[in-house]
Chain A
Amino acid sequence: MSEDTNGKSRRSYLKATGAASVAGISSLAGCTLGGGGGGGSETLTIGATVPRSGSFSSLGQSVERGYQLGVARMNEQLERDVEIVIQDDESDAAQVRQSLNQITSNNDVDMLWGSFSSLLVTAGSAFAENQELPFLGAFFAYEEPHRNEGYEWTYSPFPKSRDVARSTRGLLSLIPENERPTNVGIWEPNSGWGAEQSTYWDDVLSNEGYDVVLRESFQLGSEDFSSLISQSKSADVEILLSVPTPPGGITAVNQMQENDFTPEVLKFVRGADPTAWWSALGQQGAFACMCPGWVPGMTGNGNDGFKSAFESEYGLEDGAVIPTAVGGAYNVAQVALQAVQAAGSTDSDGLQTALRETEFGTVIGDFTFEENGLPSEGQLTAPTGQWWEGGQHVVYPDTQGEEAIDFRYPMTPWSER
Chain B
Amino acid sequence: MVEVELVAQTLINGLLLGGIYAVAALGLSLVFGIMDIVNLAHGHMLMIGGYVAILLFSALGVTPLIGMFVAMAVLFVFGMALQRFVLDRIVDEGIEQPIIVLFGLALVLQSLGRLVLGSDAQSSEIGIPGAAIEVGPILFSFPRTVTFVFALGLILGTWVLLQYTATGRAIRATAQNRDAARYMGIDTDRIYVLTLGIGTALAGAAGALLSMLFPITPFVGWSYLLKAFAVVVLGGVGSIPGTLVGGLALGVTENISGLYLGGGFRDIISFSIFLIVLLIRPHGLFGSGGGGE
Contact = CB atoms under 8 A, between A and B. Distances in A.
A and B in contact, CB less than 8 Å: yes
A413 interface: no
A230 B9 contact: yes
A57 B118 contact: yes
B35 to A, nearest CB: 31
A57 B120 contact: yes
A247 B1 CA distance: 29
A99 interface: no
Contacts, number: 89
Given A251-B121, A251-B123, A230 B263 contact: no
A223 B266 CA distance: 11
Contact of A54 (B9, B17, B119, B141): B119
A227 interface: yes
B258 A227 contact: yes
Given A226-B255, A231-B6, A258-B141, A190 B119 contact: no
A259 B258 contact: no
Interface in B29-72: none
A258 B133 CA distance: 10
B1 A230 contact: yes
A219 B119 contact: no
B271 interface: no
A227 B121 contact: no
B239 interface: no
B131 A415 contact: yes
A57 B263 contact: no
Given A91-B119, A226-B255, A250-B121, A234 B1 contact: yes
B255 A227 contact: yes
Nearest to B256: A227
A231 B13 CA distance: 13
A65 interface: no
B119 A53 contact: yes
A258 B263 contact: no
Interface size class of B (residues with CB under 8 A): 35 or more
A260 B217 CA distance: 26
A15 B266 CA distance: 54
B255 A233 contact: no
Contacts of A91: 119
B53 to A, nearest CB: 15
Interface string A227-262: 110110110000000000001001100110011100
A260 B123 contact: no
Contacts of B267: 219
B255 A217 contact: no
B262 interface: yes
B180 interface: no
A192 to B, nearest CB: 14
A251 B217 CA distance: 12
Contacts of B254: 224
Contacts of A226: 10, 13, 141, 255
A contact residues, range = 20 to 34
A219 B141 CA distance: 23
Given A53-B119, A234-B1, A219 B214 contact: no
A228 B266 CA distance: 13
A218 B121 contact: no
A190 B10 contact: no
* Central interface residue in A219, A223, A226, by most chain B CB within 10 Å: A226
Interface in B253-293: 254-255, 258-259, 262-264, 266-267
B141 A222 contact: no
Given A58-B120, A224-B214, A258 B266 contact: no
Contact of B144 (A218, A230, A258): A258
Interface in A365-391: none
A255 B10 CA distance: 14
Contacts of A250: 121, 123, 215
Interface in A189-223: 190, 216-219, 222-223
A255 B143 CA distance: 10
A259 B1 contact: no
A234 B2 CA distance: 7
A76 B131 CA distance: 57
Contacts of B217: 55, 247
A288 to B, nearest CB: 17
A321 interface: no
A54 B120 CA distance: 6
B263 A190 contact: yes
B142 interface: yes
A276 interface: yes
B90 interface: no
Contact of A55 (B1, B119, B143): B119
A250 B255 CA distance: 20
Interface string B122-152: 0101000001100000010111100000000
A354 B205 CA distance: 60
Interface string B211-255: 001110100000000000000000000000000000000000011
A96 to B, nearest CB: 16
Contacts of A276: 120
B123 A218 contact: no
B10 to A, nearest CB: 6
A233 B1 contact: yes
A191 to B, nearest CB: 11
A53 B118 CA distance: 7
The 5 closest A-B pairs by CB, nearest first: A247-B121, A218-B263, A234-B1, A258-B141, A223-B214
Given A53-B118, A230-B10, 15 more contacts: A54-B119, A216-B262, A219-B267, A222-B266, A226-B141, A233-B1, A234-B2, A250-B121, A258-B141, A258-B142, A258-B144, A259-B132, A260-B139, A276-B120, A415-B131
Interface of A: 53-55, 57-58, 90-91, 190, 216-219, 222-224, 226-228, 230-231, 233-234, 247, 250-251, 254-255, 258-260, 276, 415
27 contacts: A55-B217, A58-B120, A190-B263, A217-B262, A218-B263, A219-B267, A224-B258, A226-B10, A226-B141, A227-B13, A227-B255, A227-B258, A227-B263, A228-B263, A230-B1, A230-B6, A230-B10, A231-B259, A234-B1, A247-B121, A251-B214, A254-B123, A258-B132, A258-B142, A259-B141, A260-B132, A415-B131
